[in-house]
């Protein structure tokens, strides 16, 4: 496989990343706040949806693989075509940090499910504190993820014009960056649905544009070779 085809696949992986995360979010509803006492109806969410939450974690893990490939493609474009060389390292660092935080958030939610299932064998009044702590960790990690994502989207938006990205995509990036900023300074919650879906739409659109650009470059190089 030629390097050009690898670049094209890396660019297209952003679309796969967006679809996997969308499927993960639609698979099961947003986790609810654990009750502060043993038993109760709220706890049944974690017992009933244990399998779906586990599948959601698997989808998030797969999405991170494709997300890193897309991140590599995006970083390469900025390094090669942007007039601001610092944008590439910012995108690479921010994307890697966001991926790590997202995986840690999924792991904390998985731990919460296991904790709740273990309570069935020996529920006590003190168990609620542990469940609440895990839920707050899940929320905090989700909230912190907004900051590296903000750096990622803002860097690509800033360098968009120098890399030839269309104005509508940079405009969408500006809106998503603002939503991520509000998410980061807002309540203690993970990424809200509107912010998440906006970010995924931005990733999918960027991925498709970069894939098309790779195809255009491939055609131009093929034409040049034929002429030579």
Residue 11, CA atoms < 13 Å, CB-side half-sphere: 20
pLDDT score for 95: 95
User: Residue 183 falls within a domain, yes or no?
Assistant: yes
Is there a contact between 191 and 146 (Cβ–Cβ < 8 Å)? yes
Separation of alpha carbons 112 and 119, rounded Å: 11
User: Residue 228 falls within a domain, yes or no?
Assistant: no
Written in H, E and C, the secondary structure of 74-99 is: HHHHHHHHCCCCCHHHHHHHHHHHHH
User: Residue 138 falls within a domain, yes or no?
Assistant: yes
User: Residue 166 falls within a domain, yes or no?
Assistant: yes
* Of 163, 13, 203, the residue nearest 76 (C-alpha): 163
Domain that holds residue 28: 3-220
**pLDDT digits (tens), the chain, 228 positions:** 677 778 888 999 999 999 999 999 999 988 887 765 555 656 678 888 889 999 999 999 999 999 999 999 999 888 888 788 888 899 999 999 999 999 999 999 998 888 877 776 665 555 556 778 888 898 888 889 999 999 999 999 988 777 778 999 999 999 999 999 988 887 655 567 889 999 999 999 999 998 886 444 444 443 344 334
The distance of Cα 182 from the centroid of its chain, to the nearest Å, equals 17
Looking at the 3D structure of the chain, how many domains does it have?
A: 1
Separation of alpha carbons 206 and 203, rounded Å: 5
pLDDT score for 216: 45
User: Residue 225 falls within a domain, yes or no?
Assistant: no
User: Residue 75 falls within a domain, yes or no?
Assistant: yes
Residue 95, CA atoms < 13 Å, CB-side half-sphere: 27
User: Residue 226 falls within a domain, yes or no?
Assistant: no
């Amino acid at each position: 496989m030629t390097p050009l085809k690898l670049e094209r696949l890396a660019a297209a992986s952003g679309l796969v990343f967006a679809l996997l995360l969308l499927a993960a979010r639609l698979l099961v509803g947003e986790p609810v706040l654990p009750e502060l006492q043993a038993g109760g109806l709220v706890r049944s969410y974690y017992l009933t949806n244990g399998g779906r939450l586990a599948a959601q974690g698997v989808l998030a893990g797969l999405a991170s693989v494709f997300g890193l490939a897309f991140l590599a493609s995006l970083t390469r474009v900025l390094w090669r075509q942007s007039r601001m060389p610092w944008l590439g390292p910012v995108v690479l660092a921010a994307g890697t940090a966001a991926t790590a935080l997202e995986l840690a958030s999924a792991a904390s939610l998985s731990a919460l499910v296991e904790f709740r299932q273990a309570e069935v064998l020996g529920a006590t009044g003190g168990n609620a504190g542990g469940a609440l702590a895990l839920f707050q960790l899940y929320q905090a990690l989700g909230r912190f993820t907004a900051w590296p994502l903000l750096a990622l989207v803002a860097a690509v938006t800033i360098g968009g014009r120098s890399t030839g990205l269309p104005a509508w995509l940079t405009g969408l990036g500006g809106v998503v960056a603002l939503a991520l900023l509000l998410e980061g300074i807002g309540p203690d919650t993970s990424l809200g649905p509107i912010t998440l879906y906006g970010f995924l739409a931005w990733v999918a659109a960027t991925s498709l544009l970069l894939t098309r650009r790779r195809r255009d470059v491939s055609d131009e190089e093929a034409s040049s070779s034929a002429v030579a």
